[in-house]
Homo-oligomer: A and B are copies of this chain.
Amino acid sequence: MRALVLGGGGMVGQKLALHLSVHGLGGEPVELTLHDIAFPPQPLPGVNQIVGSIADAGTAARLARTRPDVIFHLASIVSGEAEANFSKGWAVNMHPTWALLEALRAEHEADPDYCPRLVFTSSIAVFGGPYPDKISDTFLQAPQTSYGAQKLICETMISDFSRKGYIDGISIRLPTICVRPGAPNAAASGFFSGIIREPLNGQEAILPVADTVRHWHASPRSATGFLTHAATLDTETLGGRRALNLPGISCTVAEQIEALREVAGNDPVKLIKRQPDPVIEKIVEGWPRDFAPERAKALGFKAESSFKEIIEVYLEDDLNAPGP
């Protein structure tokens, strides 16, 4: 089977690609192509890489013409950048999805047997407060960032193209992925990973919010599991609701820190420096904190069962893993 990963150069894309190239998908080997604006210096063996922007005219159509069986659509700029650069946000996070869907529909119309599975990484940013204690599967979407609005719009298009039978799409609203390996990124959510990762690497980490802040997490390993499960499940079971809140771990920053202490002792915890940042505090205040993702659980999506387990996944898969 042929799989295409849009945004295949990013952290989650690379982990997914490694998984697919080793394990295949649904018991079948995968001929894998990654597309992104940039890739890590060391390409994965046996994996095709295409460098380019999904926002460039003609790119979506060119990729659709290769008729992948499965498309993982992870390509987007992050929330902070979409907020700072309004035009770029819509140009990268919304319009190319429309172009891709129209290109896939054209392929389907040329050959009605062609109806690819499209797995779209949406986000809990489609939600906006005020929130109930736990966000249920029937809670309204009311994004409070351009990124969230763009994700909701892509979900909505994907559902409608799927309902009409042009593609077979599913949107998965990822929790914040934590612990992100590697260097800090510019995301406002970066500290959720930073306060675990930096101390485990013997480095100081800044905590810009109060430790009562509650948030919704899953590991990069779970993200790969979500993606491959979404690529292989029977979409008939989704009814008309093809966007899913995924399982995760809801915990406070204090609970994250406590889990770090349990796993690694007191010394790493001492490396966390409290340095409140009102800008980040305000952004984070608007984010979802807890979910009751019953549908996704019933459909077989799985995340960790504690934040401690999330840290252990980081130790196994990243800190102590041989580099790629």
Contact = CB atoms under 8 A, between A and B. Distances in A.
Contacts of A129: 240
Contacts of A241: 128, 140, 142
Contacts of A137: 140
A124 to B, nearest CB: 14
A146 interface: yes
A160 B149 contact: yes
A86 B153 CA distance: 17
A143 interface: yes
Nearest to A164: B86
A170 interface: no
List the number of copies, as a whole number.
2
Interface in A237-251: 240-241, 243
Contact of A164 (B142, B143, B146, B163): B146
A36 to B, nearest CB: 26
A159 B163 contact: no
A144 interface: yes
A152 to B, nearest CB: 5
Given A149-B157, A156-B153, A139 B138 contact: yes
B140 A163 contact: no
Contacts of A141: 140-141
Given A149-B157, A153-B157, A156-B153, A144 B128 contact: no
Interface residues of A, number: 25
A84 B318 CA distance: 51
Contacts of A240: 128-129, 142, 144
Contact of A153 (B128, B144, B153, B243): B153
Contacts of A139: 138, 140
A237 to B, nearest CB: 14
Contacts of A143: 156, 159-160
A148 B237 CA distance: 22
Interface of A: 86, 128-129, 132, 137-144, 146, 149, 152-153, 156-157, 159-160, 163-164, 240-241, 243
27 contacts: A86-B164, A128-B240, A128-B241, A129-B240, A137-B140, A138-B139, A138-B140, A140-B140, A140-B141, A141-B141, A142-B159, A142-B241, A142-B243, A143-B156, A143-B159, A143-B160, A144-B163, A144-B240, A146-B160, A146-B164, A149-B156, A149-B157, A149-B159, A149-B160, A152-B156, A153-B156, A156-B156
9 closest cross-chain pairs (CB), A and B: A149-B160, A138-B140, A144-B240, A153-B153, A142-B241, A149-B156, A128-B240, A152-B156, A146-B160
